[in-house]
Amino acid sequence: MLDGLKANNPLRLLSAFPARARTRIGSNLELLINILVIAAALIFMLYQGPGFAIRIAQLFAIFAILVVSLNLVIGYTGLLSVAHVAFFGIGAYSVAVLTTNPEFEQVPGHIRYFDWTFFAALPVGMLIAGVVALFVGGVLSRFRDDLFVLVSVGFAVIAHRVFLFWQPVTRGAFGIHDISKPTIGGLVIDGRLEFMFLSLGFLVLVCLASWMIVRSSFGRVLMAIREDEQAIEVFGYKASMFKLMIWVISAMMAALAGGLIASEQTFIDPNSFLLLESILLVCIVILGGLGTIWGSLLGALVFVLLNEGMRFLPFLPDALVGQARLAVLGMLIVALMLFRPQGLVGKFKL
């Protein structure tokens, strides 16, 4: 199916059309992309059975929360951040640390434990991420463009180091096991189907919140900051405050995704929160389209399909699957930048 998607991809024909025809075809193309991606997902899920479908939907929900929230910062505000994974990690580690009982683990020194429930730990994790984002954002607001990217790289690297070496709290490279599942009343959400619905529910909330934000006057100011920060300041907006606000909101959403993945996998270690993951997220934001929530959902879906689908390609040895995923995603990004710089369904360029 994925092969079909690639072979039928009409992107390459675009440059043959004159500009005026291209805009008309452009909107049809957008519809075509939508139909293709969603159809591919549905057919793929039906073909592989319910267990696989649940896995795809679960992964999609968490990735989509990350991508939508990152798009608020990159696509709407124009801040090219690769620090998103740090907040994802803070959320995951907060939930992991707060909910587990590590007595049986063989890590030197005393480890504090809290034994909280998931739904108590999740908002605290988001709050911690928000507070960290406030401080990091304060530093980042002094930079723009290329320097902003570099400083955000620095922060992502620091965060990973903290996860790795702050052993008394994070258990370092051992990671954290047996992270608890959410409970509502007496009901434990430990089934994969139930957890998928929980994640999708949170995704809906994140999308709704994002939609409200970008449709508000605040969202319009964000876009103006993206277009010309100095010009919008002249009209009385303190751009740094707007940037800080969306930065914190986005970080808290990423922490939400982190808490979900910690509980879903029941195990996390620092290697899940490498800088590379952040770069991948940026790629998916661009793939889906800057400044569009729907595009981010579509981008996340394409990524999850690629990620999970490539293992079924008959000619690809298992050992190469992981590598091939990134290579294909890389090629997809290059092709998009050449023929469709606004992404699958986006409107804006960086």
Q: How far is the CB of 26 from other proteins (least distance, A)?
A: 13
Which position has the token pair 């999609």? 60
How far apart, in Å, are the Cα atoms of 17 and each of 21, 69, 339? Answer: 6, 35, 12
How far apart, in Å, are the Cα atoms of 38 and each of 45, 153, 255? Answer: 11, 33, 27
Binding mask 192-231 for other proteins (x = CB under 8 A): ---------------------x-xxxx-xx-xx-xxx-xx
Q: How far is the CB of 72 from other proteins (least distance, A)?
A: 12
Task: Examine residue 143 and tell whether it contacts other proteins (CB under 8 A).
Answer: no
Q: Are 70 and 84 in contact (CB under 8 A)?
A: yes
Residues with Cβ within 8 Å of residue 253, at least 6 apart in sequence = 65, 66, 68, 69, 72, 206, 209, 210
Q: Which of 318, 305, 260 lies closest to 66 in space, CA to CA?
A: 260
Binding mask 244-263 for other proteins (x = CB under 8 A): -x------------------
Closest CB to other proteins among residues 115, 228:
228
Count of CB atoms situated within 10 Å of the CB of 325: 18
Classify residue 300 as left (phi > 0), alpha (psi -120 to 50) or beta. Answer: alpha
Of 5-13, 100-108, 241-249, 332-340, the segment contacting other proteins by CB under 8 A is: 241-249
Distance (Å, whole) CA 170 – CA 110: 12
Q: How far is the CB of 201 from other proteins (least distance, A)?
A: 23
Task: Examine residue 349 and tell whether it contacts other proteins (CB under 8 A).
Answer: yes
CA angle at residue 318 from 316 to 320, to 5 degrees?
70
Number of residues that bind other proteins (CB under 8 A): 28
The residue within the footprint of other proteins, chosen from 232, 293, 305, 332 (CB under 8 A), is 232
Phi, psi for 269 (deg, rounded to 5): -140, 165
DSSP 74: I
Q: How far is the CB of 338 from other proteins (least distance, A)?
A: 20
Closest CB to other proteins among residues 2, 245:
245
Of 41-49, 180-188, 234-242, 274-282, the segment contacting other proteins by CB under 8 A is: 234-242
Q: How far is the CB of 95 from other proteins (least distance, A)?
A: 27
Q: How far is the CB of 213 from other proteins (least distance, A)?
A: 7
Q: How far is the CB of 243 from other proteins (least distance, A)?
A: 10
The site for other proteins (CB under 8 A) is made up of 213, 215-218, 220-221, 223-224, 226-228, 230-239, 241-242, 245, 347-349
